[in-house]
A and B are shown apart, each in its own frame.
Chain A
Amino acid sequence: MQNGDQHYSMEDETYTDIDGKAISLECQSHSGFCREFTVSSAKVSIGRVMAYTCAVWLSAYIIFFVTENTAVLSSAIIITLVGMMVHIHFVKVDHETLLIIGSLGVQVSSSYASGRESTDFIEMGKIKDIVINEAIHMVRKIKDIVINEAIHMQTVIYYLCILLKDPSDPEAVSSVVPLFQSSKPRLNCLVKVYKSCQEILAKC
């Protein structure tokens, strides 16, 4: 169809998250005052799934070889299946969406790998502003498997958040709702989203 909403995605920039993994940003403009931003993280990689499954089953076979108890094998299977189901249903976020509708509100939703969506809608009357905040992020990286040392690094990261008004005091900020918590995009991606949101907030 030739008359679609305007989609902007990827253009020349590739976005990454704070750990360096590639993510993608899609902006959709449904109308002059309604825009939708979707940040998608990397999918579950087949390599990691296979590595994890092989590790579990190998250890199960070794234990079975030692103890000669078949319950070990069936419990390994059950653990693998349950673990995978829990991971894709509760842990792995596929994409996060921000839908901003001028003078109505902002809707934030996370969609998990199993298809489950958890949505939250904040009315415009409660929103004070959308800003980019700084935070200190504690990152633990294993420097080298040979050295086997864990180094704690602190990095400064930026995150987009919504400031909510305090009902009793219109000038004060009562709470902060951070956005894109699982995908954690970098500043270039956040700035794009921020500018778009501010355009709409300024209009209404």
Chain B
Amino acid sequence: MVLKIFFPQCCNKADSGLLVGRWIPGQNSAVVLAVIHYPFIPGQVKQYIHQMRGQSGVDLTVLGSWSMPKEGQEGMESFLRDLSTIFPQGQWLQLSREMGKIGFRCHVLTRDPNGKLIQQEKELKEDGGGEKGGKGGEGKKGGTKRGGGENKVEGEEGGGEKDKVIFIHYEQRKVMLSQLHPIENGVPDPQTESQLPQVFGTVCQSEPLFFLDKYDDGPVKMTHWQSEGREGSIIVELMKQASTPVCLLTTWILTLWTSLCSSRILNVRPMRFISSKLSTCVQLSYRTEHLQTVCSPTRATAHNHFMRKANIFVSFFVDVSLGLLLVSWMYRENRIGKLADTLVPAADYVAKELEELLQWLMGAPAGLKMNRALDQVLGRFFLYHIHLWISYIHLMSPFVEMILWYVGLSACLGLTFALSLLSDITALLTFHIYCFYVYGARLYCMTVYGLSSLWRLFRGKKWNVLRQRVDSCSYDLDQLFIGTLLFTILLFLLPTTALYYLVFTLLRLVVVMFQGVLHLSVDFINSFPLFAMGLRLFRSYRLAEGVKFRVLCEEPGTPLHLMMDINPLKVSSVVQTYRTPTYSCYPKDSWLALCKKLFLGELIYPWKHKTTKID
């Protein structure tokens, strides 16, 4: 197998020293993490590495030596070879680079079973016959893929098998911060795990190694991505300090709130029923749960938990700020008062329109001839209902403004609350339409069932409840007589009931559509992973789908050099992976089942609330 060496870009210009890193078992690869510079005491180096191994959990070792001789520092070859005796390894890498040249050289020394060192040359010779053929069909491509210029020939000599080396350059900071997807849960078996997750995992877990920078007075002097000085931001540190007491306080308040909500007074049957129907209460409980997740004082260690917390926090923050914006806009210039003033006239208008509709139905709607008596009965029944409803609205009208003013303040808790509130107000104001729909549907349903049963009687059959099928049955003469009579009556009354049912179902569906749109937008705001999306747009290296390789232009006689870049996750995958699970609102029935229910007159509740998924 080819030997692969993952070399960090920050160490390209490092002074000579020892290479520290990890061998990946089974893949014949080595990940270089840092370079320890001269002068050093080997005992201290070994001690330091042992300490780091314990702290990080990564199997760190000294991989070999790195030499980039400056002027007047030639002739270190034998010194470097002697180093390998101090740090006994299975394979010892000797990487070297000359000033002014781009390529690296690599010698590998292996220890044979007797403990003797064998040197294997991994230098490759130049192939003199490398001819560059012209490219066909198109001009030169832009530089990014090939690094501009030509790549050098790596020919192989015909005689003998030579092992080969690939240098893979990676940017240490980006690889350390990045997370490979799909995310494996649990600890994978190191033997079967593929190479890239192991490389990423090694760099990520070696964070303790990168704490020493070149200004520290430590036992060793190293070069890695943070050796110019540790990165930090004062705002982040301040927030970290402030977050613990804030989290504790919020958790305490939330426990108080949840204990209050689950107290016995508020848990009586009717209250529970109402609160499960009102979407504002549902949203409130949902947000409480979210806040409990975010404000838990334990740090999130796994990537999934961290992203979940961050997403919830950001979406809550955006939600609240949008809500505050809305509140400030509505309460300025007393817009809320104006809204309350238009609410009662709007209800009046709706009632008037309904009355006109009923008058139309009681006449000859669309030229159809209704059954006069039934028509009048149903029409008057519904008209009386509307009259009652309007009276109640007028009774409440002095209090509407005050109620709306205080309830509107709850929009401070977030835009989702404002939307759920709107949905609830709509539901309350159109309650009479819901009642009419239920009456019409029940009447129609009874008619249809009666008709189907009497139709069977008409044909001499019966529904066998035990066997759940239609059986033949011999009826008496008077049974047949009454059955036929009732069948005729119901049949001729069917158009009237069907028409009322149709009209009120359409009205109900309009209201349901409107509420559905509101619920969908609430759901969207709740579940959309804003933090993950922001990360994907501005720090795309943190969410990695994979890697991409680019061949770097090199000089003759040097091994193959590749640049490993991070391939960011696709936007659709980001949304799919990091979506916060919610009580999603989706239609309970498919379209076909819905149409069937409508035809039969069964009551439809198209939007079903799922309880929150827990994973």
Those of A1-59 within 8 Å (CB) of chain B: 1-10, 22-26, 28-34, 36, 40
A171 contacts the other chain (CB 8 A): no
Complex Cα–Cα for A2 and B132 (A): 7
- Contact yes or no, B155 A32, CB < 8 A: yes
Contact status of A121 and B551, CB under 8 A, knowing A6-B132, A9-B135, A9-B136: no
Residue of B nearest to A24 (CB): B137
- Contact yes or no, A10 B136, CB < 8 A: yes
Please, what's the 1-or-0 string for B122-154, where 1 marks a CB less than 8 Å from any CB in chain A?
001010001111111110001001000111111
Residue of A nearest to B26 (CB): A125
- Contact yes or no, A5 B136, CB < 8 A: no
Interface size class of B (residues with CB under 8 A): 35 or more
- Contact yes or no, A3 B548, CB < 8 A: no
Please, what's the 1-or-0 string for B227-262, where 1 marks a CB less than 8 Å from any CB in chain A?
000000000000000000000000000000000000
A198 contacts the other chain (CB 8 A): no
A204 contacts the other chain (CB 8 A): yes
Residue of A nearest to B165 (CB): A31
Complex Cα–Cα for A29 and B560 (A): 11
Complex Cα–Cα for A101 and B560 (A): 10
Those of A103-141 within 8 Å (CB) of chain B: 103-104, 107, 109, 115, 119-121, 123, 125-126
- Contact yes or no, A31 B549, CB < 8 A: no
B547 contacts the other chain (CB 8 A): yes
- Contact yes or no, A4 B130, CB < 8 A: yes
Contact status of A30 and B551, CB under 8 A, knowing A3-B130, A5-B150, A6-B153: yes
- Contact yes or no, A125 B4, CB < 8 A: no
- Chain A residues near B150 (CB, 8 Å)? 1, 3-5
- Chain A residues near B136 (CB, 8 Å)? 9-10, 24-26
Chain A contact residues, majority secondary structure: strand
Those of A75-111 within 8 Å (CB) of chain B: 97, 99, 101-104, 107, 109
Residue of B nearest to A7 (CB): B133
Q: What's the least CB distance linking B182 to chain A, in Å?
A: 13
Contact status of A104 and B166, CB under 8 A, knowing A204-B1, A204-B2: yes
- Chain B residues near A25 (CB, 8 Å)? 136
B164 contacts the other chain (CB 8 A): yes
Residue of A nearest to B149 (CB): A1
- Contact yes or no, B153 A4, CB < 8 A: yes
Q: Total A-B pairs in contact (CB under 8 Å)? A: 118
- Contact yes or no, A4 B135, CB < 8 A: no
Q: What's the least CB distance linking A125 to chain B, in Å?
A: 5
- Contact yes or no, B4 A104, CB < 8 A: yes
- Contact yes or no, B137 A10, CB < 8 A: yes
Complex Cα–Cα for A135 and B142 (A): 35
- Chain B residues near A23 (CB, 8 Å)? 137
- Contact yes or no, A28 B548, CB < 8 A: no
- Contact yes or no, A5 B152, CB < 8 A: yes
- Contact yes or no, A99 B549, CB < 8 A: yes
Complex Cα–Cα for A5 and B562 (A): 15
Complex Cα–Cα for A140 and B124 (A): 53
Complex Cα–Cα for A99 and B556 (A): 21
CB < 8 Å neighbour of B164 from A24, A33, A120: A33
CB < 8 Å neighbour of B562 from A10, A97, A101, A204: A101
Complex Cα–Cα for A28 and B28 (A): 26
Residue of B nearest to A122 (CB): B546
- Chain B residues near A40 (CB, 8 Å)? 137-138
- Chain B residues near A34 (CB, 8 Å)? 154, 166, 551, 560
- Chain A residues near B196 (CB, 8 Å)? 123
CB < 8 Å neighbour of B549 from A6, A22, A101, A115: A101
- Chain A residues near B151 (CB, 8 Å)? 4-5, 28, 30
- Contact yes or no, A32 B549, CB < 8 A: no
Please, what's the 1-or-0 string for B548-591, where 1 marks a CB less than 8 Å from any CB in chain A?
11010000100110100001000000000000000000000000
- Chain A residues near B124 (CB, 8 Å)? 31
Residue of A nearest to B2 (CB): A103
Residue of A nearest to B156 (CB): A32
- Chain B residues near A123 (CB, 8 Å)? 194-196
**Residues of A in contact, count (CB < 8 Å):** 41
- Contact yes or no, A101 B548, CB < 8 A: no
Q: What's the least CB distance linking B117 to chain A, in Å?
A: 25
- Contact yes or no, B153 A5, CB < 8 A: yes
Residue of B nearest to A115 (CB): B142
Question: Which of B137, B195, B567 gathers most chain A CB within 10 Å?
Answer: B137
Q: What's the least CB distance linking A100 to chain B, in Å?
A: 11
- Contact yes or no, A121 B548, CB < 8 A: yes
- Contact yes or no, A119 B548, CB < 8 A: yes
- Contact yes or no, B154 A31, CB < 8 A: yes
- Chain A residues near B135 (CB, 8 Å)? 7, 9, 26
Residue of A nearest to B133 (CB): A7
- Contact yes or no, B548 A107, CB < 8 A: yes
Complex Cα–Cα for A167 and B192 (A): 9
Those of B261-290 within 8 Å (CB) of chain A: none
- Contact yes or no, B152 A121, CB < 8 A: no
- Chain B residues near A204 (CB, 8 Å)? 1-2
- Chain A residues near B137 (CB, 8 Å)? 9-10, 22-24, 40
Question: Which of A5, A31, A99 gathers most chain B CB within 10 Å?
Answer: A31
Complex Cα–Cα for A44 and B349 (A): 60
- Chain A residues near B1 (CB, 8 Å)? 103, 204
Residue of A nearest to B546 (CB): A121
- Chain B residues near A24 (CB, 8 Å)? 136-138
- Chain A residues near B154 (CB, 8 Å)? 5, 29-32, 34
Q: What's the least CB distance linking B22 to chain A, in Å?
A: 18
- Chain A residues near B155 (CB, 8 Å)? 32
Residue of A nearest to B129 (CB): A6
- Contact yes or no, A120 B2, CB < 8 A: no
- Contact yes or no, A125 B194, CB < 8 A: yes
Please, what's the 1-or-0 string for B195-235, where 1 marks a CB less than 8 Å from any CB in chain A?
11000000000000000000000000000000000000000
Those of B165-204 within 8 Å (CB) of chain A: 166, 168, 192, 194-196
Contact status of A3 and B562, CB under 8 A, knowing A32-B154, A32-B164: no
Complex Cα–Cα for A84 and B554 (A): 39
Complex Cα–Cα for A120 and B544 (A): 12
Q: What's the least CB distance linking B513 to chain A, in Å?
A: 29
Complex Cα–Cα for A8 and B145 (A): 18
Q: What's the least CB distance linking A148 to chain B, in Å?
A: 35
Q: What's the least CB distance linking A122 to chain B, in Å?
A: 9
Those of B1-46 within 8 Å (CB) of chain A: 1-2, 4, 28
- Chain A residues near B4 (CB, 8 Å)? 103-104
Complex Cα–Cα for A99 and B480 (A): 84
Complex Cα–Cα for A102 and B1 (A): 9
15 CB-based A-B contacts, threshold 8 Å:
A1-B149, A3-B150, A3-B556, A4-B151, A5-B154, A9-B134, A22-B137, A34-B166, A99-B549, A103-B28, A107-B549, A119-B548, A120-B546, A120-B567, A121-B567
Q: What 8 pairs between A and B have smallest CB-CB spacing?
A: A10-B136, A24-B137, A31-B154, A4-B132, A4-B150, A9-B136, A7-B133, A32-B156
Q: A10-B137, A125-B195 are in contact. List 14 more A-B contacts (CB 8 A).
A: A1-B132, A3-B153, A4-B132, A4-B150, A5-B154, A6-B130, A8-B133, A24-B137, A29-B153, A30-B151, A31-B559, A104-B2, A121-B546, A204-B1
